[in-house]
């Protein structure tokens, strides 16, 4: 079980590091050596999980949709709008979202899966749900409209990136919805939709950061005052010592690297 948990953590470290590298350099200029440096894993560990740089990039493209969660309750159209605003926010603050979008735009896998396929499918499902609940016109083809919405969002975020580094993306996406909604939804429904999203994610993130900063300050002050139980006993949650935790984390990748992995790694992109 511990070995499996380490393998999952290693996979996560590689994907997160690769996302930051692809975000910075794009697919062609991204080097395996830089991914290894940022992930702090061995080449054998990387090739245990991924056969090639292309496989890592595909994992990132698959992962980017995890930055959005479409609520199934309430208004499907509002949930769709909220999801778009979630991704707009992620494009400013999440390397995974930016890397996945950059890889899609670069057309890295022209012979592979459709780079926007997951987004189109998810959007079409929400439009179908909107039809079932009477929000979306019955004559609308969900798949056709989904492609238009995804294409519009993609173009708008590119223009916003060029204009303001995506600082105005929330409002630009809201403007997109103001133009699209009248062509797909009943007027009575549109009156209740908030194109900017129901939640100001930037304000929410600021509040969270301020709360965490305040909690950290209170904890630091308590520790200085000598009221931190861990500081008095030297114990750690679960009864283990810090030394034991580090020892348990060391050497994961030697267990994960199969026989011959070093030979296979030699054929990987650098």
Pick the closest to residue 77 from 203, 186, 226 (CA basis). Answer: 186
Considering the chain, tell me which residue range(s) the CATH 1.10.10.60 domain(s) occupy. Answer: 2-63+253-265
Q: What is the CATH number of domain 2-63+253-265?
A: 1.10.10.60
- Range list of H helices, 94-168: 95-106, 117-132, 142-164
Name 103's Cβ contacts closer than 8 Å, sequence gap at least 6: 22, 27, 57, 60, 61, 115
Considering the chain, tell me which residue range(s) the CATH 1.10.357.10 domain(s) occupy. Answer: 68-205
CATH of 68-205, picked from 1.10.8.870, 1.10.357.10, 3.30.1130.10, 3.30.70.3190, is: 1.10.357.10
Q: Which two tokens stand for residue 230?
A: 């861990």
Beta-bridge partner residues of 136: 185
- Range list of H helices, 185-260: 187-190, 201-224, 229-233, 242-249, 252-256
Q: How confident is the model at residue 208, as a pLDDT?
A: 55
Pick the closest to residue 267 from 51, 46, 22 (CA basis). Answer: 51
**CA of residue 223 relative to chain centroid, distance:** 35
Q: How confident is the model at residue 245, as a pLDDT?
A: 37
Q: How confident is the model at residue 213, as a pLDDT?
A: 65
- Report mean pLDDT in 10-residue bins for the chain, 270 residues: 84 96 94 96 95 92 82 91 94 92 78 77 96 96 97 95 94 97 96 89 58 71 69 47 38 44 38
**CA atoms of 166 and 171, how far apart (whole Å):** 10
Radius of gyration of the chain (CA): 23
Q: How confident is the model at residue 212, as a pLDDT?
A: 63
């Amino acid at each position: 079980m511990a070995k499996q948990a380490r393998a999952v953590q290693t996979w996560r470290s590689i994907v997160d590091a690769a996302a930051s590298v692809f975000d910075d350099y794009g697919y062609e200029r991204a080097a395996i050596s830089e991914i290894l440096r940022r992930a702090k894993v061995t080449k054998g560990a990387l090739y245990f999980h991924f056969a090639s740089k292309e496989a890592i990039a595909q994992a990132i493209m698959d992962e980017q949709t995890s930055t959005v969660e479409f609520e199934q309750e309430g208004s499907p159209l509002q949930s769709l709008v909220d999801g778009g605003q979630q991704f707009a926010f992620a494009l400013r603050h999440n390397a995974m979202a930016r890397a996945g979008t950059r890889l899609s735009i670069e057309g890295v896998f022209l012979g592979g899966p459709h780079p926007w396929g997951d987004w189109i499918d998810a959007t079409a499902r929400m439009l179908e749900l909107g039809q079932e609940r009477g929000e979306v016109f019955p004559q609308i083809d969900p798949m056709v409209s989904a492609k238009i919405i995804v294409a519009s969002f993609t173009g708008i975020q590119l223009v916003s990136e060029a204009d303001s580094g995506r600082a105005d993306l929330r409002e630009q996406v809201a403007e997109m919805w103001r133009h699209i909604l009248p062509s797909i939804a009943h007027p009575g429904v549109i009156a209740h939709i908030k194109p900017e999203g129901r939640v100001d994610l930037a304000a929410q993130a600021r509040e969270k950061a301020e709360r965490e900063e305040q909690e950290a300050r209170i904890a630091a002050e308590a520790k200085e005052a000598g009221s931190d139980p861990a500081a008095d006993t030297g114990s750690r949650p679960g009864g283990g010592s810090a030394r034991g935790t580090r020892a348990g984390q060391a050497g994961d990748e030697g267990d994960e690297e199969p026989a011959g992995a070093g030979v296979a790694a030699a054929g990987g992109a650098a």
